[in-house]
Structure 1
Amino acid sequence: MDPEKKHTWDKNSKWPEELELLKSIINKTGLTETTKWGGTAYTYNGKNVLGIGGFNDFFTIWFFKGVFLKDENKILVNAQEGLTKSLRQWRFATKGEVNEQLVLQYINEAIGVEKAGLAVKPEKKPLIIPERLQAELDASVELSEAFAKFSPYKQKEFAEQIATAKQEKTVLARLEKIKPLILEGRGLNDKYR
């Protein structure tokens, strides 16, 4: 792919007047403006509170912990339903839709959420041991006991190493590689840490 033709989302060049309007409102709140992930974001005591940006059909203010906002006006949307747990967007199609008083109300509530320390805790996914690795563990008490001594994180690394193999010969090769590591008490990626 030609690097000059690579498409990147420029959050700040679309809707310049509209984004300046949002900035002028946000600047009344005492939040600190910064750049995160190539876009304009605002923090309170170093913690992300909100960001702004422009898309093709709308410009937006997003609240990193928007899930905790009351949203009595039902204006916030989840941009990726099922994926996004906490972030919520308030989308605008014109400058005329921006109600300064209401925007300030939502921002102040978002600052209150941050002050209260509310957060969505990431879901822990259960460890799934692939059948081939489980068969090896079941066949050797020594291997099973050594595997059990690893942290869940390191156990998951071993499990994923086997689960991501597409061919049987790759599964066998990987099993032969990881069994000595497990018996020695060395994690799969310890040499990189």
Structure 2
Amino acid sequence: MPTIDPRIDAHIAKAGEFARPVLERFRALVHREIPDCVEAIKWGMPHFTLRGKNLAGMAAFKAHVSVFFHHDEQPGGTGPFRKIASLDQFPDEEQVIQRLHAAVERLSSASTASKPKAAPKPVPDMPSSFADALEDAAVRDRFDAMAPGQRREYIEWIVEAKTVTTRKKRIVQAVEWIGEGKTRNWEYQKC
């Protein structure tokens, strides 16, 4: 049994005289072909969802009706579905059914695909001058206790220095901050 939303009935009733038959035909086709779809209003337009994912939608304008399928990868985009001015211009029923089933197929395959997890960025090698500066055991222990990302930020900051003078200043500053238990960007952290 299709899930009917009374807001879509109201939306169709508010549409122009030419648009009502087109909207009703598309709605009936969607419910006939995908009986477990659910109606919803999204972005102010009637939509059909399947398992919580957007499947298709329709919109009535002053002079035409648009019918669209989410995540549509058909060549030419929406093509004959973009501007339908009357029921006579409604695309072939088989074409609509084909696009609906293709949309369902895309939804099914999209739900199983997941983005691969990115590998953590490795901590770069510590410059020997920085390792020598961490000779105090308490400072060295604090540095070793930091998260890999925090250690990486300090090392990258020192390595990125363009001159030897800048590198030395950064090493002195880093040792001071590490001794105080501060991370590299401690000034920007919320307290």
TM-score by length of 1: 0.46
Q: Which has the larger radius of gyration?
A: 2
